[in-house]
Structure 1
Amino acid sequence: MEQLKQKILQESAIVSNDVLRMDSIINQQVDPSLIMEIGKEFAARFKADNITKVLTIESSGIPAAFAAAYLLNVPLVFARRKQTVINDPDSYVERVPSFTKGMVSDLVISKQFLNRDERILFIDDIIANGDGARGVVKIIQEAGAELVGMGIVVEKAFQAGANYFREQGIRVESLVKIASLDSGEIVFKD
């Protein structure tokens, strides 16, 4: 997506050779027009796959996942990042580390929202090492649902996350792949 690449070049900030801050694009401030274009792209790529639900992780994945779910006309479910007193006690829970947050958290999804008849599209904003995505995949498997594929807004191709899933035979569709952030420069991979 050329529009997304241009926005990344204009508005993101390189924090280190491993971290790209995209707060003004997809993480804290959201451009609704761009998010709807992202949703259209994911919906087009997975249109023929009979998706029954879109799944993401709170909070940064929600806008892109919402746009895709809206255009696919299916519900959106998101994994909460921690257990609270209002969580359904009958929930799937996976502990996962977060690369960008530098901490371990729980991913929690109420069992009422996932069942074995589901065909799931997992959408995530950024994939680095893939730890959060691995937790979601485990929950999908535990529910007996089918993971149809993963839609990733930005793949850090220099980290192992997306390739791990490809090696497992999981379809991964990344809208933008970043090959490197070395020397303070964003290099895209075709």
Structure 2
Amino acid sequence: MELLKQRIIEEGVILSDQVLKLDGLLNHQVDPQLTMEMGREFAARFKESGITRVLTVESSGIAVAFATAYELGVPLVFARRKKTLLAEEDAYCERVPSFTKGIVTDIMLSRQYLKSEDRVLFIDDIIANGDAARGLIKIIERSGAELVGLGIVIEKCFQAGARTIREQGITLESLVKIESLTNGTITFGE
């Protein structure tokens, strides 16, 4: 998506050779038109897959996952990172480290919203080390649902997350691939 690449160049802030801050696009502020365009793109890539649910992890993946679910005409379900007073005791739960936050969190998903007959598309904003993705994949597997694929807005190719997911035989589609953030320059991949 050339539009997305242009917006990343214009609004992304390189904090280190590992971290790109995208608060103006994905993580703090959301551009509704761009987000809907990303949702249309993911829906087009997975439209023939018989998806029954779009799944993400709160919070930065929710907007793009919503746009994708809307385009596919299916429900959006998101795993929570914090237990609430209303959380089910027997919800699916996985401990996952967060590269960006530098902490380990639990992701939880109500059994009510993920059934064995579901065909799931997992949408997320960025994949770095892939820990959150692997945690959610484990939850999907435990539920008996079928993971159709992953749609990732930005793939950091210089970190192992996407590669290790693909090595498991899982389809992973990225809208933009970033090869490097070295010397304060964003280098895109194919």
Report SS of the residue matched to 1:107: strand
The alpha carbon displacement at 1:88 in A equals 1.7
Residue in 1 aligned with 2:127?
A: 127
The alpha carbon displacement at 1:157 in A equals 0.5
Alignment of 1:39-188 (within 5 A): 39-188=39-188
Report SS of the residue matched to 1:81: coil
Runs of 4+, deviation exceeding 6 Å: none
Report SS of the residue matched to 1:104: strand
> Identity of counterpart residues, as a percentage?
63
Segments of structure 2 that go 5 or more residues without pairing to the other structure are none
Q: Which amino acid aligns with 2:113?
A: F
Residue in 2 aligned with 1:15?
A: 15
The alpha carbon displacement at 1:86 in A equals 1.6
The alpha carbon displacement at 1:84 in A equals 2.1
Segments of structure 1 that go 5 or more residues without pairing to the other structure are none
- TM-score w.r.t. structure 1 length? 0.99
What is the rounded CA distance, in whole Å, between the counterparts of 2:170 and 2:92 in structure 1?
A: 21
Deviation string 1:79-126 (CA, Å, 9 cap, x unpaired) is 000212221222000000000000000000000011110000000000
Q: How many residues align?
A: 190
Q: Which amino acid aligns with 1:97?
A: P
What is the rounded CA distance, in whole Å, between the counterparts of 1:161 and 1:144 in structure 2?
A: 23
Q: Which amino acid aligns with 2:78?
A: F
Report SS of the residue matched to 2:95: strand
Q: Which amino acid aligns with 1:117?
A: E
The alpha carbon displacement at 1:21 in A equals 0.2
Root mean square deviation of aligned Cα: 0.5
The alpha carbon displacement at 1:129 in A equals 0.2
What is the rounded CA distance, in whole Å, between the counterparts of 2:122 and 2:179 in structure 1?
A: 22
The alpha carbon displacement at 1:5 in A equals 0.2
Residue in 2 aligned with 1:38?
A: 38
Report SS of the residue matched to 1:90: coil
What is the rounded CA distance, in whole Å, between the counterparts of 1:70 and 1:89 in structure 2?
A: 30
